[in-house]
């Protein structure tokens, strides 16, 4: 789907037009069109093929022509023209949290800043101070944003890589002679953000495969084109490498290109101690190949149990594999329900009924509605009265028998700055599942936030601490919080830690999950879905749980309803 590309191009045009300043209305029109295309549930090319682009809210005839031109030729004349006129690298600056269109305009006009590097230099030299509308707080925010952007530079959220990878796999599979395709690298290890995409192929017709690959739809640049290795950059900016491997080396190549580097170095050392040599072509004793065709045979030949890709970070998995102590990792099929979801009663997009229908299609045993509460006004949080009304509505749903699963009554309650909750105990005690979350004052000191969270989870009605570190991948760092103290308090109060499955959150992260488990805490893997489609994000939570060494028994929503409820009640 090219929807994302079109959104980015329109946003870029909006910013460039804003800087150009000749038309006051056009930039807003472009941003509006970009927003409605971003929320389309359908492939924009299909809409264009039907000639219905002007049916998209905010897309008029002239904009539709430009989108058509892009879909057919890969470029828009007016945009190329604007780029020549105004050298601001909009996409690069846009990746910096805290830098929006108006800031870009200000920075370009006053300081000639066009990209990340010139912005970083200006911040370091204190040039931003004194610019109209830019105070010290904004400078700090931009400075932190630059660090985040640098760290995330060239990285893609795992969830955004999925459709790209699926497209590549589907196209390559159709090519004659192809026998096997696997995606290796950080994608296979299910890291939360990934760099390049590494594709491994066994084929009888390498030349044909490589020719097809460098001409795939969406390829913007061919970086290398050879018989065993080719690399391209897609229009979305992501680099894809394809390697053709001999069938006898497939397992070794898979092991090698899955990484991580630290994991591989450690495995190779173990092989050496056994008088073996491990490379991307196989495991050898002298000239003789001991293993290579199958990946698991390589592990067993060096005395290791098979190690799942998600664990390959050299963080103890190799020692555990030597002692047959690897965890039996959780799988998506173990999940019996979702305990944190929203509806249009707060800031969700779908009604309760729509969400329940979608959840029922997943054959869940239970499902909790947990809308925001009143102090989160931006999300139209619910008052006590509204929560009580929703409780009776859910009671009726349950007695109606319309859904086989049990609908649980919940709320995502705000943790106020003094550690109190924004809903009375009297109402909270009528709910099945209370999730407490921090949504405000995330810049407080570590001590203040830790105090706040610890106070909140000591409320005996709180069952789950929602997204415990508040981070948004590639956008916002974790707030400062002493997790050890939080875990300690949670253990004493019998509170569950959330693993929020939203692809931007994945919060707790892998290391924190392992720490929580060491504290004896249980985890709830929840989607925090705000629309039907986001219920599918459960898989990303499960990937992250696997990276955190979790087994089904560590996760409360793998238990049958009765046992799950018991685990919630302290």
Of 32-40, 86-94, 433-441, 447-455, the window that binds Zn ion (rule: CB under 5 A) is: 433-441
Nearer to Zn ion, 44 or 369 (CB): 369
Q: Measured from the CB of residue 421, what is the shortest distance to Zn ion in angstroms?
A: 14
Residues with Cβ within 8 Å of 268's Cβ and at least 6 positions away in sequence, in order, are 278
- # chain residues binding Zn ion, by CB under 5 A: 3
Is 412 a binding residue for Zn ion by CB under 5 A? The answer is yes
Distance CA 116, CA 118 (A): 6
With contact defined as beta carbons under 8 Å apart, do 526 and 341 qualify?
yes
Q: Measured from the CB of residue 232, what is the shortest distance to Zn ion in angstroms?
A: 38
Q: Measured from the CB of residue 340, what is the shortest distance to Zn ion in angstroms?
A: 6
Return the residue matching tokens 């150009």.
20
Q: Measured from the CB of residue 533, what is the shortest distance to Zn ion in angstroms?
A: 16
Nearer to Zn ion, 249 or 437 (CB): 437
Nearer to Zn ion, 74 or 533 (CB): 533
Nearest-CA neighbor of 97 among 540, 511, 504, 448?
A: 504
Binding mask 523-542 for Zn ion (x = CB under 5 A): -----x--------------
Angle between helices 77-85 and 61-73 (to 10 degrees): 90
Q: Measured from the CB of residue 345, what is the shortest distance to Zn ion in angstroms?
A: 12
Of 18-26, 331-339, 502-510, 521-529, the window that binds Zn ion (rule: CB under 5 A) is: 521-529
Nearer to Zn ion, 321 or 529 (CB): 529
Binding mask 472-511 for Zn ion (x = CB under 5 A): ----------------------------------------
Return the residue matching tokens 């392992």.
514
Q: Measured from the CB of residue 369, what is the shortest distance to Zn ion in angstroms?
A: 11
Nearer to Zn ion, 156 or 437 (CB): 437
Bridge-partner residues for 202, per DSSP?
180
Using the CB atoms, write b or e for 484-496: b if 16+ within 10 Å: eebbebbeebbbb
Nearer to Zn ion, 412 or 554 (CB): 412
Nearer to Zn ion, 200 or 473 (CB): 473
Tokens (6 digits) for 180: 């096997």
Nearer to Zn ion, 292 or 503 (CB): 503
Q: Measured from the CB of residue 329, what is the shortest distance to Zn ion in angstroms?
A: 26
Bridge-partner residues for 283, per DSSP?
278, 291
Instruction: Please classify residue 363 by burial: count the beta carbons closer than 10 Å to its beta carbon, then call 0-12 exposed, 13-18 middle and 19+ buried.
Output: exposed
Is 317 a binding residue for Zn ion by CB under 5 A? The answer is no
Strand 337-338, strand 366-372: pairing:
parallel
With contact defined as beta carbons under 8 Å apart, do 502 and 466 qualify?
no
Of 158-166, 188-196, 436-444, 548-556, the window that binds Zn ion (rule: CB under 5 A) is: 436-444
Distance CA 116, CA 122 (A): 10
**Element (DSSP H or E) covering residue 568:** helix 561-568
**Element (DSSP H or E) covering residue 38:** helix 26-38
Is 346 a binding residue for Zn ion by CB under 5 A? The answer is no
Q: Measured from the CB of residue 490, what is the shortest distance to Zn ion in angstroms?
A: 17
Binding mask 181-220 for Zn ion (x = CB under 5 A): ----------------------------------------
Of 210-218, 284-292, 379-387, 407-415, the window that binds Zn ion (rule: CB under 5 A) is: 407-415
Is 414 a binding residue for Zn ion by CB under 5 A? The answer is no
Alpha-helical segments (H) within 112-260: 116-124, 136-152, 158-173, 185-188, 206-214, 250-258
DSSP E strands, 67-196: 156-157, 178-183, 193-194
Of 253-261, 281-289, 321-329, 432-440, the window that binds Zn ion (rule: CB under 5 A) is: 432-440
Nearer to Zn ion, 294 or 478 (CB): 478
Query: Is the preceding omega at residue 484 within 30 degrees of 0, hence cis?
Result: no
Query: Given its phi and psi angles, is residue 470 left (phi above 0), alpha (psi -120 to 50 degrees) or beta?
Result: left
Nearer to Zn ion, 104 or 499 (CB): 499
What's the full length of the chain, in residues?
570
Q: Measured from the CB of residue 519, what is the shortest distance to Zn ion in angstroms?
A: 23
Q: Measured from the CB of residue 346, what is the shortest distance to Zn ion in angstroms?
A: 8
Of 161-169, 246-254, 412-420, 473-481, the window that binds Zn ion (rule: CB under 5 A) is: 412-420
Nearer to Zn ion, 381 or 548 (CB): 381
Nearer to Zn ion, 373 or 437 (CB): 437
Please, what is the Cα angle at 538 between 533 and 541, to 5 degrees? Answer: 135
Tokens (6 digits) for 224: 């290398």
Q: Measured from the CB of residue 504, what is the shortest distance to Zn ion in angstroms?
A: 12
Distance CA 355, CA 334 (A): 21
With contact defined as beta carbons under 8 Å apart, do 371 and 560 qualify?
no
- C-alpha distances in Å from residue 86, one per residue of 111, 135, 230: 14, 26, 34
Question: Please, which of residues 65-124 interact with Zn ion by CB under 5 A?
Answer: none
Strand 178-183, strand 219-225: pairing:
unpaired
Distance CA 515, CA 483 (A): 9
Q: Measured from the CB of residue 334, what is the shortest distance to Zn ion in angstroms?
A: 22
Of 89-97, 167-175, 256-264, 410-418, the window that binds Zn ion (rule: CB under 5 A) is: 410-418
Is 437 a binding residue for Zn ion by CB under 5 A? The answer is yes
Distance CA 410, CA 402 (A): 19
Nearer to Zn ion, 18 or 414 (CB): 414
Binding mask 257-276 for Zn ion (x = CB under 5 A): --------------------
Question: Please, which of residues 293-312 interact with Zn ion by CB under 5 A?
Answer: none
Nearer to Zn ion, 317 or 528 (CB): 528
- C-alpha distances in Å from residue 371, one per residue of 60, 314, 412, 441: 36, 40, 6, 20
Which residues contact Zn ion by CB under 5 A?
412, 437, 528
């Amino acid at each position: 789907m090219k929807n994302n590309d079109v959104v980015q191009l329109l946003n870029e045009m909006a910013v460039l037009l804003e800087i150009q300043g000749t038309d006051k209305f056009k930039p807003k029109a472009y941003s509006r069109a970009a927003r409605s295309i971003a929320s389309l549930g359908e492939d924009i090319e299909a809409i264009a093929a039907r000639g219905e682009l002007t049916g998209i809210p905010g897309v008029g005839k002239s904009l539709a022509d430009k989108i058509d031109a892009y879909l057919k030729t890969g470029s828009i004349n007016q945009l190329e023209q604007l780029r020549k006129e105004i050298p601001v690298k909009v996409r690069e600056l846009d990746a910096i949290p805290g830098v929006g269109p108006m800031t870009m305009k200000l920075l370009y006009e006053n300081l000639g800043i066009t990209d990340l590097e010139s912005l970083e230099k200006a911040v370091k030299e204190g040039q931003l101070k004194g610019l109209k509308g830019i105070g010290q707080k904004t400078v700090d925010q931009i400075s932190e944003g630059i660090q985040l952007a640098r760290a995330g530079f060239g990285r893609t959220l795992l969830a955004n890589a999925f459709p790209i990878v699926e497209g590549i796999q589907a196209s390559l599979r159709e090519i004659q002679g192809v026998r096997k395709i696997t995606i290796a690298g950080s994608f296979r290890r299910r890291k939360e953000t990934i760099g390049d995409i590494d594709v491994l192929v066994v084929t009888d017709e390498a030349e044909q495969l490589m020719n097809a690959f460098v001409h795939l739809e969406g390829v913007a640049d061919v970086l290398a084109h050879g018989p065993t290795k080719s690399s391209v950059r897609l229009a979305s900016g992501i680099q894809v490498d394809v390697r053709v491997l001999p069938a006898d080396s497939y397992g070794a190549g898979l092991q090698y290109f899955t990484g991580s580097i630290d994991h591989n170095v450690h495995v190779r050392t173990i092989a050496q101690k056994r008088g073996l040599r491990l490379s991307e072509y196989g495991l050898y004793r002298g000239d003789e190949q001991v293993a290579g065709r199958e990946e698991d045979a390589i592990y067993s030949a060096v005395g290791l149990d098979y190690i799942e890709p998600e664990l390959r970070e050299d963080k103890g998995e190799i020692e555990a594999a030597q002692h047959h102590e690897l965890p039996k990792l959780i799988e998506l099929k173990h999940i019996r329900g979702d305990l944190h979801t929203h509806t249009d009663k707060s800031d969700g997009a779908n009604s309760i009924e729509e969400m329940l229908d979608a959840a029922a299609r997943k054959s869940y045993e239970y499902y909790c509605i947990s809308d925001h509460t009143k102090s989160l006004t931006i999300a139209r949080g619910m008052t006590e009265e509204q929560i009580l009304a929703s409780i009776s509505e859910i009671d009726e749903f349950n007695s109606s028998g319309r859904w086989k699963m049990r609908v649980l009554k919940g709320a995502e309650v705000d943790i106020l700055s003094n550690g109190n909750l924004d809903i009375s105990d009297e109402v909270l005690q009528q709910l099945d599942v209370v999730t407490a979350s921090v949504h405000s004052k995330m810049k407080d000191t570590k001590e203040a936030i830790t105090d706040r969270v610890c106070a909140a989870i000591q409320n005996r009605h709180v069952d789950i601490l929602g997204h415990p570190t508040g981070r948004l991948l590639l956008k916002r760092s974790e707030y400062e919080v002493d997790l050890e103290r939080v875990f300690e308090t949670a253990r004493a109060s019998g509170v569950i830690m959330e693993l929020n499955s939203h692809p931007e959150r994945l919060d707790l992260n892998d290391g924190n999950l392992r720490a929580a488990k060491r504290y004896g805490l249980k985890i709830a893997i929840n989607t925090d879905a705000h629309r039907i489609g986001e219920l599918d994000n459960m898989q990303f939570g499960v990937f992250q749980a696997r990276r955190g060494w979790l087994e089904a028994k560590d996760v409360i929503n793998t238990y049958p309803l009765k046992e799950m409820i018991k685990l919630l009640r302290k």
